[in-house]
């Protein structure tokens, strides 16, 4: 029988799955659930050592003799600090030690109770990864715990043999051993193709009958963009203009049509790139927990955006797409591809051709329509929140956006810096809160006439009106959405920026054309007010 602590059982199961054979165990009470489990699990050989300082070196000796990683398990408090000398030595020998420390509940750390020192990160730079496991109370905390253990054990293998630290807070009672068997835990397999890509490196993809490729944000790369266009001719690819020179797949509008319809469900998901704008797409991917999911990553860092990642492929995005184009013999005539293409085409026609009743959304539609006529002698930035969502709806080109953290600050400054060294016209579409927050970006002598700003001013943070349930709060408009009646006209005068404005559709249309075509030695701002 095993412990009733789910985090301990998850850790035990994954240690076994990842091939750990030897565990050095030290005495204590807080680590009893861990030691009990390790002793019960037939995959492990336990080695009792009383002194933690000696135990760390004892584990190092086993690792040297067998040329494999070894775990050492200690109780809470100074017990952990005593293994530091061995971990430091192991780091210089590039021998992986898995330090497993039991800990007190997080609420009691540094509260003058016994053995409640801050243990997480206590081993500092001598470990390549330190994780602090949550106590498991629901499905999300269970997923979190599983992901963190996988992260640590993958880091052990892919960070040049550096040790890792797994800290395990455990609440009382400690001595309930009522679980009949260990859980069958998801193990994330990490592989790195050697030298030249072969068909073996993407074998699961090639074997799949209904593969789905998802592309998150990538830096602009013309070659990558060209590869994506080729890929889209025969595979279902869901992506946004944050990845390539092309249109998004409008998943926010498609979500209700495809979600729950099994005909659209893939049997394999390949995720390439970084973050997605579409919350609906992320929700959809998280529901597809019965199909294999592989993340393509530049290093062995886990980014489990789907919440059910099975494997990681450590390589470049262009490498894996080139391999698919080379080895995959599908022609784009299969039912799965044609079904998705029909749905995507239907939504494209609806979105691109239909004028919006929302003035700010219509502004972006008109702007992007006019930009299509302008060739490719321009670059377009979008700020976060509603701006980038409008951009994903209407743009048919690559768009720049600070989507790493998704904050409202710095979008105008980023576009300003970009424009200062870019010979092309640089457009930035930005909401009012983002603009006024970062308006000091215009207080800069290096700005020229190639910087063109479209300010979508609805007098508040418009994204907050989209949050269901928030409308019941009396604080929403004034305090949360930061409602205001501010115009950018005075700022433009102060900073020497040409100012244009519109508050009606016909005004906006003519002024957008003026913004695109006007010659100027200084930046130009078009403010579209919808309040």
pLDDT band at 436 (very low <50, low <70, confident <90, very high): very high
Residue 73 has pLDDT above 70, yes or no: yes
Q: Which residue has the tokens 């061995």?
A: 86
Architecture of domain 355-529: 3-Layer(aba) Sandwich (3.40)
Range of lowest pLDDT (83-97, 309-323, 476-490) = 476-490
Residue 137 has pLDDT above 80, yes or no: yes
Mean pLDDT of 113-125: 90
CATH of 191-351, one of 2.60.120.260, 3.90.245.10, 3.40.50.1220, 3.40.50.620: 3.40.50.1220
Architecture of domain 6-187: 3-Layer(aba) Sandwich (3.40)
Query: What pLDDT is recorded for position 449?
Result: 95
DSSP string, 245-301: SS----HHHHHHHHTT-GGG--SEEEEESS--S-HHHHHHHHH-TTSEEEEEESSS-
Can you say whether the dihedral through the CA atoms of 137, 142, 147, 152 is positive or negative? positive
Query: How much is the mean pLDDT over the chain?
Result: 92
Query: What pLDDT is recorded for position 400?
Result: 96
pLDDT band at 113 (very low <50, low <70, confident <90, very high): confident
Least Cα distance to 302 among 142, 148, 165, 100 occurs for: 148
Secondary structure (3-state) at 24: strand
Least Cα distance to 497 among 459, 456, 445 occurs for: 445
Question: How much of the chain exceeds pLDDT 90, in percent?
Answer: 79
Query: Is there a shared CATH topology between the 6-187 domain and the 191-351 domain?
Result: yes
Mean pLDDT of 409-432: 95
Tens of pLDDT, residue by residue over 204-257, are 999 999 999 999 999 999 999 999 999 999 999 999 999 999 888 888 888 888
Query: What pLDDT is recorded for position 249?
Result: 83
User: Does residue 175 contact residue 107 with C-beta atoms inside 8 Å?
Assistant: no
User: Does residue 111 contact residue 64 with C-beta atoms inside 8 Å?
Assistant: no
Question: How much of the chain exceeds pLDDT 70, in percent?
Answer: 97
Range of lowest pLDDT (69-78, 83-92, 442-451, 457-466) = 457-466
pLDDT band at 406 (very low <50, low <70, confident <90, very high): confident
Measure the CA–CA gap between 168 and 162, rounded to whole angstroms: 20
Where are the strands (E) in 75-210, listed by range? Answer: 97-103, 127-132, 163-169, 189-191
Mean pLDDT of 385-412: 92
Can you say whether the dihedral through the CA atoms of 251, 348, 369, 238 is positive or negative? positive
Tens of pLDDT, residue by residue over 509-527, are 999 999 999 999 999 999 9
Can you say whether the dihedral through the CA atoms of 74, 79, 81, 84 is positive or negative? negative
Residue 481 has pLDDT above 70, yes or no: no
Region of residue 293 (phi > 0: left; psi between -120 and 50: alpha; otherwise: beta): beta
Measure the CA–CA gap between 404 and 407, rounded to whole angstroms: 8
DSSP code of residue 509: H
Tens of pLDDT, residue by residue over 308-350, are 999 999 999 999 999 999 999 999 999 999 999 999 999 888 8
Query: What pLDDT is recorded for position 516?
Result: 94
pTM of structure: 0.90
Query: What pLDDT is recorded for position 195?
Result: 72
Query: What pLDDT is recorded for position 464?
Result: 65
Query: What pLDDT is recorded for position 446?
Result: 85
Give domain limits for the chain. Answer: 6-187, 191-351, 355-529
pLDDT band at 161 (very low <50, low <70, confident <90, very high): confident
Where are the strands (E) in 340-435, listed by range? Answer: 378-382, 425-431
Least Cα distance to 157 among 197, 181, 123, 129 occurs for: 129
């Amino acid at each position: 029988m095993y412990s009733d602590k789910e985090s301990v059982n998850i850790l035990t199961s994954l240690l076994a799955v990842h091939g750990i054979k030897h565990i050095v165990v030290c005495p204590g009470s807080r680590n009893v659930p861990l030691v009990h489990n390790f002793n019960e699990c037939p995959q492990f050989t336990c080695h009792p050592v009383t002194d933690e300082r000696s135990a760390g070196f004892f584990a190092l000796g086993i690792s040297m003799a067998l040329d494999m990683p070894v775990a050492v398990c200690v109780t809470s408090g100074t017990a952990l600090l005593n293994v530091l000398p061995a971990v430091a030595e192991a780091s210089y020998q590039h021998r992986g030690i898995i330090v497993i420390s039991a800990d007190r509940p997080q609420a009691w750390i540094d509260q003058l109770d016994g053995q409640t020192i801050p243990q997480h990160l206590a081993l500092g730079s001598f470990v390549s990864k330190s994780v602090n496991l949550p106590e498991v109370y629901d499905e999300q905390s269970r997923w979190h715990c599983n992901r963190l253990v996988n992260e640590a054990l993958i880091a052990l293998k892919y960070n040049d043999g550096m040790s890792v630290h797994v800290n395990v807070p455990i609440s009382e009672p400690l001595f309930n051993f009522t679980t009949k068997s260990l859980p069958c835990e998801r193990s994330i397999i990490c592989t790195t193709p050697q030298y030249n890509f072969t068909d073996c490196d993407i074998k699961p993809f090639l074997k799949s009958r209904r593969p789905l490729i998802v592309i998150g944000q990538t830096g602009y790369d013309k070659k990558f963009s060209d590869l994506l266009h080729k890929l889209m001719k025969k595979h279902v690819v869901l992506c946004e203009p944050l990845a390539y020179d092309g249109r998004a797949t409008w998943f926010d509008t498609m979500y209700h049509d495809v979600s729950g319809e099994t005909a659209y469900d893939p049997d394999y998901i390949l995720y390439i790139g970084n973050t997605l704008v579409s919350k609906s797409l992320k929700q959809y991917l998280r529901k597809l927990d019965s199909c294999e999911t592989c993340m393509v990553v530049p290093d062995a860092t886990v980014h489990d955006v789907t919440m059910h990642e099975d494997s990681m492929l450590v390589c470049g995005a262009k490498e894996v797409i080139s391999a698919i184009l080379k080895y995959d013999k599908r022609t784009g005539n299969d039912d799965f591809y044609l079904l998705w293409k029909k749905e995507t085409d239907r939504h494209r026609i609806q979105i691109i051709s239909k004028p919006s009743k929302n003035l700010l959304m219509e502004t972006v539609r008109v702007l992007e329509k006019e930009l299509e006529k302008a060739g490719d002698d321009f670059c377009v930035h979008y700020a976060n929140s509603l701006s980038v969502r409008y951009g994903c709806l209407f743009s048919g080109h690559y768009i720049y956006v600070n989507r790493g953290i998704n904050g409202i600050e710095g979008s105008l400054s980023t576009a300003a810096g970009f424009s200062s060294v870019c010979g092309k016209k640089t457009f930035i579409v930005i909401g009012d809160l983002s603009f006024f927050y970062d308006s000091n970006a215009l207080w800069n002598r290096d700005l020229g006439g190639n910087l063109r700003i479209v300010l979508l001013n609805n007098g508040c943070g418009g994204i907050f009106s989209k949050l269901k349930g928030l409308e019941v709060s009396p604080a929403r408009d004034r305090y949360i959405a930061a409602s205001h009646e501010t115009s950018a006209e005075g700022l433009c005068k102060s900073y020497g920026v040409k100012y244009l404005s519109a508050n009606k559709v016909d005004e906006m249309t003519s002024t957008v054309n003026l913004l695109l075509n006007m010659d100027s030695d200084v930046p130009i701002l078009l403010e579209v007010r919808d309040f």
